[in-house]
A and B are shown apart, each in its own frame.
Chain A
Amino acid sequence: MNKPYIHKITSKTVTMAHGGGGKAMRDLIEDVFVSRFRNPETGDMEDQARLDPGDLIRAGGRLAFTTDGFVVDPLEFPGGDIGKLAVWGTVNDLAVGGAVPKWLSAAFIIEEGMDIEHLRAIAQSMRDAADRAGVAIVTGDTKVVPRGAADKVFITTAGVGVIAPGVELAASKVQPGDVAIVNGFLGHHGATILQARGDMQLESDIISDCAPLNALMQAAMRAAPNLRCARDATRGGLASALNEIAAASNLIIRLDEQALPLKADIRGFCEILGFDPLYLANEGRLVLFVPPSEAEAALGAMRSVPEGVDSVIIGQAHSGKTPRVEMRTTFGGTRIVDMLVGEQLPRIC
């Protein structure tokens, strides 16, 4: 493939001119994005990506398609940045449906005045994240809006993946007795972002858990052929993901607080602020349900993948009158774990 000339951008910040459709915009797109996202598979600079559906589709597989917007503040935080979130967030939405993520689009709403070098760093982070997840960013868009109309940069990604024939994960398939597994320690992303905003004036070494979950999901699916369903525990935390599953399956999900993977610094963070770690966001955590006979195999396979070394069983599904999530507390009591209402607000005292 012959490599076309890539135009360079000369200014240090994004101006409204970079959204005007002329040379300045071409320079921005080529310098910052195309130079990093290019890949031989999908060709160059047409108005759309042209994709080969591949053997799986020809063999009867299906496409999975999803989209997500990313507006995180701050743009960089310990353990990640908006670029990684934008790629892995969409990758994970595909992965938990049992799909193998293949292609992503990325659209950028950029605030006038954004530093170009900063934008390059975000684009590079996205390329690195895409490489780690084994996906390609094949099409995109940029818009520039006046100062104040956006906060530095907002990114929307959409993703297409392929679901192998016969794979049919759904929360409604969870059966009484099925076992719930999470792939690691909870609440790190949410705590990282709250802390990175600097309002709390707390110091800790908490870093975000953001990670691609496609390799982990594929490993779990190979080891547990009857894996019922998986959900990534992002906004609203594990509690919200489990409540969705309880509602869809019409079952009671009973957690064991003792088994929840929580690090001491996250517990401390939550104790001080009156937060519940079950509601803190994660960006590299999922919960999946497997039949009890396949639990050990699933656990072993998950632990063999870097994103799953701390995988543990946290609870089980039971039949019952009212679908809900319950937790046996370390103290010996039982309580309901409800959906989060609105946002989690620190308590006064």
Chain B
Amino acid sequence: MKYLDEFRDPELAGALLDRISRLVTEAGGTREKPLYIMEICGGHTHAIFRYGLDRMVPEGLEFIHGPGCPVCVLPMSRVDDCVDIAEREGVIFCTFGDAMRVPGTRKSLMQARAEGCDIRMVYSPLDALALARRHPDREVVFFGLGFETTMPATAVTLLRAHGEGVRNFTLFCNHVLVPPPIRALLSDPDMRIDGFVGPGHVSMVIGNAPYNFVADVFGKPLVVAGFEPLDLLQAVAMVLQQIVDGRAQIENQYARIVPENGNPAALKAIDTVFEVRASFDWRGLGEIENSGVKIRDAFRDFDAEVRFCVGYALGEASGREPEGCRCGDVIKGQIKPLACPKYGVECRPEHPLGALMVSSEGACAAYFQYGGERPAA
């Protein structure tokens, strides 16, 4: 298939793997003391497992699966807010499909729907706006989540709703930013990361400059990468080459999609509608300063947090994590999923306990589904 098979060519992969092996040796990575490369984006985690890349790379190199799955990092308290809104009289609650299964403290959206809430799966925020137009007597709420990748579409939808004067449409904003958790992870004294594979689609929107602190402040290489297996292998080779050369720079493997300065139209839409929150709660990582966005005051009529008085509008505290769940340690790369006592026992894809088991982009779910690493039955 054109534009796909070229990026999945096994022969090219072989050549790249040879190069990666040489570089790992040169950089001193061994089985006992491997080099750690974190892929930040959940899409990369998914691709690594889908193509079996984790088993193809040499032993002296390990992938750490970062906090880049928007469904996984959503705290339970925000899911509770979703359910709370969806249970209100007259509400049509619209969500992306894979947020349906995320457990809250009381229930997931899937359970809420089974109990009679009107919850619809949509493929775009514009579908939710169309529902609002079709049902002027109902309150249509769009559950906005995702990183900078999905933010422009939400922003444009809100601008459109504002322009048309749609009064029964609100956004429950859970959009978060990629650079702040990277900074938080790098600032953690327990962290050991030798380099990063940066998120391609986020960078398509924000460009490469927002990662400069990774190299300038923390002295680590970061290579923005695409999502095909050859993209990932090439990016890994580029990170390793920097390590071998003793360089720390922000490089762009995904130049066919990612412009150096991002997408100005998308950035403008985001800036018009959203402003950075003082702090946002991340599942497994806790509150991180300046890591999320909220709707600007000029658009507060479209803010579900204001209209339904939930979440930060209530000044609520961070959500609790399920007891014994070690998602935070997995996200930080301090343990592998198998080392969590809940993994595969109480926490399985069919009844996820921790966030990383919820979405197919979560590290634990990917381990379980594709890696086949299971505790003894």
Contacts and interface: CB of A to CB of B under 8 A. Distances in A.
B189 to A, nearest CB: 31
B201 A349 contact: yes
A81 B123 CA distance: 26
Interface residues of A, number: 27
A329 B370 CA distance: 12
Contacts of B359: 347-348
A348 B150 contact: yes
Contacts of A201: 123
Interface in A186-229: 199-201
A271 B4 contact: yes
9 contacts: A267-B4, A326-B372, A331-B8, A331-B13, A331-B51, A332-B10, A333-B55, A336-B371, A341-B350
A338 B101 contact: no
A329 B51 contact: yes
B360 A347 contact: yes
Contact of B150 (A274, A322, A346, A349): A349
Contacts of B97: 345-347
Interface residues of B, number: 46
Contacts of A335: 49-52, 370-371
Contacts of A166: none
Contacts of A326: 372
Interface string A307-349: 0000000000000001010100111111110100110011111
What 10 A-B pairs come out closest when comparing CB atoms? Answer: A333-B52, A345-B97, A336-B372, A341-B349, A332-B10, A335-B370, A346-B97, A345-B98, A331-B51, A335-B52
Contacts of A338: 368-370, 372
B146 A349 contact: yes
A43 interface: no
A342 B55 CA distance: 27
Interface string A260-278: 0000100110010010000
Contact of A331 (B52, B101, B369): B52
Interface of A: 199-201, 264, 267-268, 271, 274, 322, 324, 326, 329-336, 338, 341-342, 345-349
B367 to A, nearest CB: 10
B53 interface: yes
A268 B98 CA distance: 20
Nearest to A341: B349
A267 B1 contact: yes
B34 to A, nearest CB: 19
Given A331-B51, A333-B56, A348-B99, 13 more contacts: A199-B123, A264-B1, A267-B4, A329-B52, A331-B10, A332-B14, A335-B50, A335-B371, A345-B98, A345-B101, A346-B96, A346-B123, A347-B361
Interface string B190-204: 000000000001000
B208 interface: no
Contacts of B56: 332-333
Interface in B25-61: 42-43, 46, 49-53, 55-56
B98 A347 contact: yes
A218 to B, nearest CB: 35
Contacts of B43: 347, 349
A342 B368 contact: no
Contacts of B53: 333
A328 to B, nearest CB: 9
Nearest to B367: A336
Contacts of A346: 96-98, 121, 123
Contacts of A342: 101, 110, 350
Contacts of A348: 70-71, 96, 98-99, 145-146, 150, 359
A334 B368 contact: no
A32 B146 CA distance: 51
B100 interface: yes
B150 A330 contact: no
B258 to A, nearest CB: 15
A40 to B, nearest CB: 47
A342 B351 CA distance: 10
A190 to B, nearest CB: 15
A290 B234 CA distance: 42
Interface in B92-126: 96-101, 110, 121-123
A257 B4 CA distance: 15
A42 B110 CA distance: 46
Contacts of B123: 199-201, 346
B149 interface: yes
A341 B365 CA distance: 11
A268 B2 CA distance: 10
B102 to A, nearest CB: 11
Contact of A332 (B13, B71, B100): B13
Contacts of A329: 50-52
A334 B56 CA distance: 9
B229 interface: yes
Contacts of A200: 123
Nearest to B371: A336
A333 B51 contact: yes
A333 B49 CA distance: 9
A274 B96 CA distance: 13
B113 to A, nearest CB: 12
Contacts of A330: 8, 10
Interface in B258-298: none
B337 to A, nearest CB: 14
Contacts of A334: 52, 55
A330 B127 CA distance: 36
Contacts of A271: 4
A336 B369 contact: yes
Nearest to A201: B123
Nearest to B146: A348
- Between A264, A332, A334, A338, the greatest number of chain B beta carbons within 10 A of the residue's beta carbon is seen for A332
